[in-house]
Structure 1
Amino acid sequence: MKTNVAILSTVVVSILLILALCAGCTGSAPGGNETTNATATTTPNAGANVLRVATTTSLENTGLLAEIERVYENETGVDLQFIAQGTGQSLDTARRGDVDMVLVHAPALEEQFIDEGYGIDPRCIAYNYFIIVGPKDDPAGIANMSAVEAFRAIAIAGTNNTPGVVFVSRGDNSGTHAQEKTLWKEAGYNYTRDIQDAGAWYVEAGKGMGDTLILTNEKKAYTLSDEGTYLSFKDRLALVPVITESTELMNRYSAIAVNPVKYPGVNARGAADFINWLISDEGKQLIGDFGKAEFGKPLFVPLYAPECTKPPFNCTCAEPVPA
């Protein structure tokens, strides 16, 4: 019995020695490994290889995001994760700290986002035009009008129950919806009082641009669309562009990083790197070439200095974002 107890004691002591040695292996070696280990567990950018971007449905619907993702991920190994929403929703997502940056197209909403302290380092990257599309027979008779005149004519015709006159709004607080509301205001209307509940002629889709175009097509109606999404969906639509390329319809896209002071966990370095790539010669060439082969024209026009600093753009498009 004593022999068995001695053997058992020896085994227990051996196990304790082994455990002590293993614990020593997890300690930090001289020269700073302890600091490295602490950083690895507490750094807010532990997911630095992932970049979360809230963006607009128009950029997704055109296919540009997929092309950017393919090229940028192949070059950098960064996992770009796009969340396509309306601009208003994208900015709200960023306000919650749920993404690292935004790609949006509503200057007034962007300015508010930055003034509130949520966004930093805005860079405009490209532009195209909104267009008013509608049925070929143009029941509101808006051809050859300015955008503001066209909106006024549609409202008058709709209010007077002119046959075939329907306007479909995105109704989703997107950049396109924001531009639409601006045009109603410039046409002399109070949006919530005069337009939103004006009757059956005004329909709110509450959808992205592609789905809104499909609904507009079904209703043989008018809508405001970015040109890129319209061209991407053109083969599925009987709608035609009725009003195009007036100054009132200019559509500017911008990249804005989420402020790490507000949300220390965001991938600020990744956002800076991606924005700098978008405004680089390579990024601008990709954007400027996109759509040429399929549509015979680019869907987006990249912005260069000094043009971007002047009206109607009034933005920064070339100065690198500090890393």
Structure 2
Amino acid sequence: MNFSFAALEKPPVSTIRQNAFNLWSSMKIFHYNLASVSWLILITGNKIVKLSFSAMKYIHRLNEWNEFDILTLPGVFLNVVREKINMVIASTTSIQNSGLFDILIPSYEKSSCNDVKIEVIAVGTGKAIRLAKRGGADLLFVHDPFREEKFIAEGYGINRRVVMHNDFIILGPAEDPAGIRNAGNAEEAFELIAESALPFVSRGDDSGTNIKELDIWDDAGITPKGKGWYFETGGKMGDTLLVANRKMAYSLSDIGTFLNYQSEVDLKSLFQGGSMLKNQYSVIAVNPGRFPGVKYRAAMDFIAFVTSREGQELIAGYVKHGNHLFYPDAVPSIITA
């Protein structure tokens, strides 16, 4: 962290001492981690002056006054100002739909040394990336490794970190008329759906889930667009599940959103597993060299939190309907800890 040192005249010792003891005489003695302190408050009379500083130089200046041991004096007159920061995370809808943000964000905001308020813009991964490319977000939390790496290669993002994974699943009517339960892999399951010409509902919204679905069709050697049995909603995963349910159709979903909507639909998880259906999520800070106004330090602080043991334990412990929705990748040992 960079600091600037503001020249400071020594205030009257009696004023500082009196106000310090009057205001904070009951404060417990503690030591600041100076590497993370960004501001000090100096009490002089009835004025509160916010000072930018070079931490060590400032401490040396105060010690030169020989009036206080500023780290151990009861009623210390130093205090950290919690900077107010509004940070925007552009995220895939699947994390939002799963409810994980309702656990992660309050825990992060509580633990942050700043007064951080996070706004989540939950859209498809493609839209999230395009938003970040315009500088409209401070951080990405998405699930499309290929486009994530391209985003960084083009200079829009830095410091990508893999956070967690779960599975994509193929859903359909309980009776499974296409017989995909017995498929050997995801590509074969899609082949069976196409051969039977049974309805399939796609998000069709350039999301990470949509791109994964198109990759499976491509690997199966099938072009579904334009077929009478293939439908695109252009909407979020939850909306797509509801449409698929009305049509009693097959669809591809992340497991988190499905579990969140399970009580609202009659569709069943018919096929999952295999490397093709692994659903990996990463965070990326938007490059401040390209967009100087982004909250880069707050973004890096959030990245540090979700990849820390504390954040990874929250992810590993998040359960819905008796199922773990995500598995930590930054500290994978937590899964078996």
Q: Taking structure 2 as the reference length, what is the TM-score of the superposition? A: 0.73
Instruction: Provide the C-alpha distance between the structure 2 equivalents of 1:91 and 1:301, rounded to a whole number of angstroms.
Output: 24
Alignment partner, residue 209 of structure 2: 176
Instruction: Provide the C-alpha distance between the structure 2 equivalents of 1:48 and 1:93, rounded to a whole number of angstroms.
Output: 23
Partners of 2:172 and 2:249 within 8 A in 1: yes
Alignment partner, residue 303 of structure 1: 329
Instruction: Provide the C-alpha distance between the structure 2 equivalents of 1:30 and 1:119, rounded to a whole number of angstroms.
Output: 37
Q: Percent identity?
A: 44
| 1:297, distance to aligned residue in structure 2 (A) | 2.2
Among 179, 183, 199, the alignment partner of 1:166 is 199
Q: In the alignment, does 2:274 pair up with 1:274?
A: no
Alignment partner, residue 152 of structure 1: 191
Q: In the alignment, does 2:158 pair up with 1:120?
A: yes
Q: In the alignment, does 2:99 pair up with 1:63?
A: yes
1:211-255 deviations in Å (ceiling 9; x for gaps): 111111111000000011111111111000111112210000000
| 1:74, distance to aligned residue in structure 2 (A) | 2.2
Larger RCO (CA under 8 A, 6+ residues apart): 1
Partners of 1:100 and 1:266 within 8 A in 2: yes
Alignment partner, residue 253 of structure 2: 225
Among 74, 90, 110, the alignment partner of 1:74 is 110
What residue ranges of structure 1 are gaps of 5+ in the alignment?
1-28, 37-46, 159-164, 308-323
RMSD (Å), alpha carbons:
2.1
- The structure 1 segments of at least 4 consecutive aligned residues displaced by more than 6 Å after TM superposition are 32-35
Instruction: Provide the C-alpha distance between the structure 1 equivalents of 2:50 and 2:262, rounded to a whole number of angstroms.
Output: 59
Distance 1:84 1:306, change over 3 A: closer
Alignment of 1:34-113 (within 5 A): 49-76=85-112, 77-113=115-151
Partners of 1:166 and 1:202 within 8 A in 2: yes
Counterpart of 1:185, as a letter, is: D
Instruction: Provide the C-alpha distance between the structure 2 equivalents of 1:34 and 1:226, rounded to a whole number of angstroms.
Output: 48
Question: Could you say what secondary structure the match of 2:101 adopts?
Answer: helix
Among 301, 310, 313, the alignment partner of 1:285 is 313
Counterpart of 1:91, as a letter, is: I
| 1:167, distance to aligned residue in structure 2 (A) | 0.3
Alignment partner, residue 18 of structure 2: none
| 1:171, distance to aligned residue in structure 2 (A) | 0.4
Partners of 1:48 and 1:267 within 8 A in 2: no
Question: Could you say what secondary structure the match of 2:323 adopts?
Answer: coil
| 1:30, distance to aligned residue in structure 2 (A) | 5.6
1:99-146 deviations in Å (ceiling 9; x for gaps): 101000011111111111101100010000000000011121211211
Higher fraction of strand: 2
What residue ranges of structure 2 are gaps of 5+ in the alignment?
1-5, 10-48, 53-82
Distance 1:305 1:283, change over 3 A: closer
Instruction: Provide the C-alpha distance between the structure 2 equivalents of 1:263 and 1:271, rounded to a whole number of angstroms.
Output: 13
Q: Taking structure 1 as the reference length, what is the TM-score of the superposition? A: 0.76
Instruction: Provide the C-alpha distance between the structure 2 equivalents of 1:67 and 1:119, rounded to a whole number of angstroms.
Output: 26
